[in-house]
């Protein structure tokens, strides 16, 4: 078993997968890109240019991720574009479009389940990364295609966790609510999650063990939480104290996030996810408490036929989505600027000092306030605007 785990964590396994898919490192001449002197590099980016060191047994130990991005040659553009697209399905750009679209155009009940399960797996995955501190694959031999994620640790793959959670929560939640071939839904869920998982190997961001660990952790979380999913459906009719708990608990989870040896975006990303989930939950509670929902929610489960996609339905869905995204972006920009100004003034920080945003006492509150507002807006004010504009 130990030998199997070591082989799954081997960088060469990732490199071989990349070569099989037509991704090769380029032969470079002259000094490396991003190469700087050790002192200068440390000043620019703590941990930059340092590869994970080896322990006495020859195994890699956690170290600051490297900043070196190797040039590469693509010999199979089908796999290149397939896995780059698949990688985008596990990134923020997908979730900030798919989840609101589901909320406004498909089924709020389904969206609520997806968001809460997504928040749960993302928080556990991000915290596990900064507790385990397993390094990402080294370059060379691996070709790394994404620069932003280098500052994060590798185990488990939160892309794999999120893709698995979203696809199978969607499947489980719709099988008793809509009429469609279950085998077809299962195939879509498997293909979706598999493509995202393989994309993490192709982009050089994770070892096979990172990806498998993420999938197994998510499967365990779904199995453990499934009996409580009906509670999610009734959160909007919970106690008037729910908004207080939903704000206080996630905020302190963000504030008490594990301290890293150097700055990485994991704390900010985790705060964003938890705050958005808190905001959506509060938004659903507001809709129920103040009776803003136009019609009562039907008892569950409800079997529905999937309506045929028509041109009018497509235009209406895209219009609702565009209106909602514009309002969300306006709210996000306004609340973010306001919260930063208040925090900068409170802590007497120069406004143009972008590094100050990384400070714990500034980063967590401004991210939390901003994305809680975004979540409330998406769940409450966007549907109200839709109704006002006659889009419902």
pLDDT at 81 over 50: yes
At 114-125, the pLDDT tens digits run 888 889 998 999
| Least confident stretch, 37-51, 73-87, 178-192 | 37-51
pLDDT of residue 220: 93
> Which has the higher per-residue pLDDT, 10 or 301?
10
On average, the pLDDT of the chain sits at: 79
pLDDT of residue 115: 87
pLDDT of residue 15: 86
Q: Is the peptide bond before 5 cis (omega within 30 degrees of 0)?
A: no
pLDDT of residue 69: 58
Domain chopping of the chain, boundaries: 12-23+72-238, 281-296+307-391
pLDDT of residue 236: 60
Proportion of the chain above pLDDT 90, given as a percent: 19
Q: Which candidate, 131, 132, 165, 136, places its Cα nearest to that of 148?
A: 136
Catalytic residue numbers? 159, 206
Distance, C-alpha 268 to centroid of its chain: 11
Say how far apart CA 283 and CA 377 lie, in whole Å.
Answer: 7
pLDDT of residue 290: 72
Q: Give yes or no for a contact between 73 and 40, defined as CB atoms under 8 angstroms apart.
A: no
Q: Which long-range contacts (CB under 8 A, 24 or more apart) does 318-322 make?
A: 319/391, 320/104, 320/105, 320/386, 320/391, 321/97, 321/100, 321/101, 321/104, 321/105
pLDDT of residue 187: 94
pLDDT of residue 58: 37
pLDDT at 32 over 70: no
* Residue for token pair 């009776």: 291
| Least confident stretch, 35-49, 148-162, 257-271 | 35-49
At 323-373, the pLDDT tens digits run 999 999 999 999 998 998 888 888 887 766 677 777 878 888 889 999 999
Contacts of residue 156, Cβ cutoff 8 Å, sequence gap at least 6: 125, 128, 129, 210, 211, 213, 214, 217
pLDDT of residue 190: 93
Proportion of the chain above pLDDT 70, given as a percent: 82
């Amino acid at each position: 078993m130990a030998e199997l785990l070591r082989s799954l964590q081997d960088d060469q396994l990732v490199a071989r997968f990349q070569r099989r898919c037509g991704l090769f490192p380029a032969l470079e001449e002259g000094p490396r890109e991003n190469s700087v002197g050790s002192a200068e590099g440390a000043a620019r980016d703590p941990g930059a240019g340092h590869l994970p060191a080896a322990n006495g047994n020859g195994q890699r130990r956690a170290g600051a991720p490297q900043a070196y991005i190797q040039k590469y040659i693509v010999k199979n553009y089908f796999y290149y574009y397939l896995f780059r697209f698949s990688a985008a399905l596990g990134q923020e750009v997908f979730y900030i479009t798919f989840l609101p679209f589901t909320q406004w155009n498909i089924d709020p009940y389904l969206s609520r389940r997806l968001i809460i399960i997504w928040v749960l797996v993302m928080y556990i995955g991000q915290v596990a990364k900064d507790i385990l501190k397993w390094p990402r694959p080294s370059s060379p031999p691996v070709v790394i295609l994404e620069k932003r994620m280098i500052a994060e640790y590798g185990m488990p793959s939160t892309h794999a966790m999120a893709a698995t959670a979203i696809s199978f929560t969607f499947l489980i939640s719709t099988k008793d609510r809509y009429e469609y071939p279950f085998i077809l839904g299962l195939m879509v869920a498997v293909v979706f999650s598999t493509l995202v998982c393989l994309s993490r190997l192709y982009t050089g961001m994770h070892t096979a063990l990172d990806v498998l660990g993420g999938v197994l952790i998510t499967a365990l979380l779904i199995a453990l939480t499934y009996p409580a999913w009906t509670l999610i459906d009734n959160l909007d009719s919970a106690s008037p104290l729910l908004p207080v708990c939903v704000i206080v608990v996630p905020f302190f989870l963000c504030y008490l996030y594990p301290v890293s040896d150097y700055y990485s975006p994991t704390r900010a990303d985790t705060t964003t996810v938890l705050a958005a989930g808190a905001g959506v939950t509060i938004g659903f509670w507001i809709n129920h408490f103040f009776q803003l929902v136009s019609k009562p929610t039907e008892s569950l489960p409800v079997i529905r036929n999937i309506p045929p996609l028509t041109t009018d339905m497509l235009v209406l869905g895209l219009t609702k989505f565009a209106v909602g995204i514009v309002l969300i972006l306006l709210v996000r920009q306004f609340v973010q600027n306001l919260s930063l100004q208040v925090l900068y003034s409170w802590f007497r920080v120069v406004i143009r000092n972008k590094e100050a945003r990384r400070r714990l006492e500034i980063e967590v509150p401004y991210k939390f306030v901003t994305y809680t507002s975004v979540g409330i807006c998406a769940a409450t004010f966007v549907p109200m605007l839709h109704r006002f504009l006659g889009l419902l």
